[in-house]
Amino acid sequence: MAARVPEPRASWALLTVCTALLCLCQALGGRAAAAAEGEEEEGAAEAGSVPLLKGSALLLLGCLLARCCGSAGGGPRPGGGWGPAAARRGALEGFHARRLRLSPHVLGHSKAHVGRVVAELVRAAKAQGLQPGPAALSLRGDFVRVGSAYEQHKVRSPDRFDVLVPLRLPPRLQPEPRRAATSGAFVCGLRAPAGSGWPRRYRPFVEGFCAEPHGRQLLSSALVLRWFQGHLQRCLGAVRYRLQERCRISLAVCPGRPPTLHIRPCSDYVCCHISMAVRLIPAIPLGDALYLTVPPHDVPGAGPAHEALWGLDTSRHEQRLLAWLKEQAPASSCHLKCLQLLKGLRDLGGQRLEEPFCSLWGRVLSSYVLKTALFSLMLHGPLEAWDEQFLVERLEDLVMYLRDCLRKQTLMHFFMGNTSLPEAVALPRFLKEAAPVNLLSAFDGATLDLVAFQLLYTWSQAPHLIRTYSRARILQPAACRHGTETRHELPGE
């Protein structure tokens, strides 16, 4: 075996030590000769100075030896693996690799199986629906993939997905969305062409799907959701029979919430053996890739008119923005990794909290709020600064930006009423002319201040929280027998 070549830093340190020893020997020899030839008083003075010189030289020698050993042996040194910045980055990287990062293989297969099963269900629901008429709702026949699983920043396990299921209103009937008094919510009026017999011709539809808060006829999200749940349940039998060799499926229905389709793959068909839950969200198309969707069941301040409220889904525009940012940012950009780490730290920080603050913590720092903060911060500075080597700095910037938003009690919706977007990110007229929406307006100042304080504490204690609460959880796929069917689904290819 070839002899190991000393590292440059160790060689320089060793050379420094040898030089110091040589100088020490020469100084001590010269001092001894002068003491022998000189007068007695001078010799006594020089003899008294020799111990001081020896002590100083030995102290210097000890420091140099310690530095030499540290450099050659991999011990602590400035900028080395044991410094605070490097330790924080190491903890974050390990946390991302063990707990947050998803296997592209597993995620690709999960998305492919979800797509197949949902497509079967939507086709069956469209075929078994009522014929188009003035009293009928129906399915458009397609579905829209939304959420973090399709934006490449999903964390932990690829077992939950969101899908929009567009509905079709009766012929010639058009939705007319308007902002509601509740922040960020909409109400949906209905409009028919002149001479169509509105509202007499559409009276059965109005009576079955509209609410009349304050004397206005508005499309009811609660009534539409109830119809949607029942319609899917009626179609589930035929789909279950056709898919019995691939998987077992069931539909969980909860009042006021979109139904959840549970998919349990058969072990002899799917290589990854992961059960999946797909939230099927009924959506009213508005055009320009915008949809009205059923809002959360616990909308703050909804009041008695809650059943007429809708949310506005801009997922397709968010996907386009992410694609544009990916093109403009460096190839090794860490912006999605920062978002994943921030979601992971949010969840770790919430494990030590008690109710009711734990629930408020999750609602204030929702994934949508975190994503909006990332969008806003990225457009404030040069995208070149998001290179992977600056991961810790950019993540800290994101935490501090979010803290400032919480203290100011203001984080504006990124698309609604935003006039500072790049020209390359084209928005429909409806979003450009919409009034700005503050995503934090539903929370009081004391709550936001407390969340800001807890967020800073979570960031400062990130390595400790990762060691304390994090447990390794890695999904290992089995041998794949269907790779050619789903390769086009894999993210990043």
Range 230-239, long-range pairs (CB < 8 A, 24+ positions): 231/125, 231/128, 231/129, 231/139, 232/121, 232/125, 232/259, 232/280, 233/259, 234/128, 235/121, 235/124, 235/125, 235/128, 236/121, 238/124, 238/128, 239/117, 239/120, 239/121, 239/124
Domain 103-313+483-493 matches domain 315-460 at the CATH topology level = no
Sign of the Cα pseudo-torsion (88, 89, 92, 97, in order): negative
Residue 74 vs residue 127, higher pLDDT: 127
Mean pLDDT of 80-101: 79
CB-based contact 28:51 (threshold 8 Å): no
Express each pLDDT in 272-325 by its tens digit. 678 899 999 999 999 999 999 988 654 444 444 578 899 999 999 999 999 999
CA atoms lying within 13 Å on the CB side of residue 129: 25
Dist. CA 132–CA 123, nearest whole Å? 16
Q: Domain locations in the chain?
A: 103-313+483-493, 315-460
Q: Which residues, in sequence order, are CB contacts of 384 under 8 Å at separation 6+?
A: 329, 330
Range 198-204, long-range pairs (CB < 8 A, 24+ positions): 198/173, 201/134, 202/134, 202/135, 202/170, 202/173, 204/134, 204/135
Which H or E element spans position 279? strand 276-287
422 closest CA partner among 381, 379, 383, 458: 379
Domain covering 315-460 in this structure, CATH number: 1.10.1410.40
* Polymer length in residues for the chain: 493
Q: What is the pLDDT of residue 88?
A: 85
Mean pLDDT of 89-112: 90
Burial class (CB in 10 A: 0-12, 13-18, 19+), 319: middle
Mean pLDDT of 174-199: 82
CATH fold, domain 103-313+483-493, is Beta Polymerase; domain 2 (3.30.460)
The pTM of the full predicted model, rounded to 2 decimals, is 0.76
Query: Residue 237 — φ and ψ, nearest 5°?
Result: -60, -50
Mean pLDDT over the full length of the chain: 79
Q: Which residues, in sequence order, are CB contacts of 95 under 8 Å at separation 6+?
A: 341, 344, 466, 470
Query: Residue 140 — φ and ψ, nearest 5°?
Result: -70, -25
Mean pLDDT of 169-197: 84
